[in-house]
Amino acid sequence: MSISKIQKVTTSKNTGNIWTKLPWEQPFVLPEDKDIIDDVNQNLSPEHRFHLELLPEPYYGNPDAPIILLNANPGYSPCDEKDESQPEFKQALNSLYEKQRLNLLHEKQDYPFCLVNPAFSNTSGGDYWRRHLKELIQKFGDMTVAESVFLIEYYPYHSICAGKMPPIPSQQYSFDLLQKAIKRNATIIIIRKEKEWRKAVPELNEEYKNVWKVNNPRAGTVSIRNLPVDAWQRICNILSQRKE
């Protein structure tokens, strides 16, 4: 699908989706977020500044998926800029850009969590998530994982490091998606920013039983060693049933 066709995508399920307002040219920042993000970028060190030349990644995958991952914010890899001169890499980035735009609109794709798609394994985002979901991918396959896992980033904009940031309007849409997941009893894994997630969405507190945190947020992997035993077993049961 070309960019011009994506621009024309309007469906009823996008009602209330703030990401339909994202500009089509750099800087890629929502009008509602712009003043706060500009102020942040003027006052932070380089490793914490947001890279608005990259598409924001507030979430990936099918929002109705049974497994929800909660993370900090998408990273930034300077090596991507160096590798853009390579034709195969540039082609992968262009294709990924299209998939990311569709993802923002919750449009149906072969790989809902498109970074799990092997075609994007040479991009920094694809490489990262295929490594961090490696055990699940090996056990249940790319497609089952891509269809069953929904990732939500606490902050949608790219930076080298995730520091302490002020709230921005676009976060509320992500919080709403998480609240809907809780209502349908989804399995939730907090990878990073546990304190912030629990504060933003109070339903994540003790009364909700299907939420776990990873053992080591720095590792960030969804693996047998980095999850409580009951959380790992629950995820495996879900994926096993969906693979059949």
pLDDT tens by residue, 65-89: 999 999 999 998 776 555 555 666 6
pTM of the model: 0.93
Burial of 171 (0-12, 13-18, 19+ CB in 10 A): buried
Question: Which one, of 59, 168, 158, lies nearest residue 105 by Cα?
Answer: 59
Q: What does DSSP assign to residue 158?
A: B
97-155 per-position pLDDT tens digit: 999 999 999 999 999 999 999 999 988 899 999 999 999 999 999 999 999 999 999 99
Q: Record the tokens describing residue 21, joined without a space.
A: 């307002």
Q: How far is CA 220 from the centre of its chain?
A: 13
Residue 61: C-alpha distances to residues 28, 105, 148, 160 (Å): 20, 11, 8, 23
Better-predicted residue by pLDDT, 122 or 56: 56
Between CA 210 and CA 65 the distance in angstroms is 14
Kindly report, residue by residue over 171-213, the tens digit of the pLDDT. 999 999 999 999 999 999 999 999 999 999 999 987 899 999 9
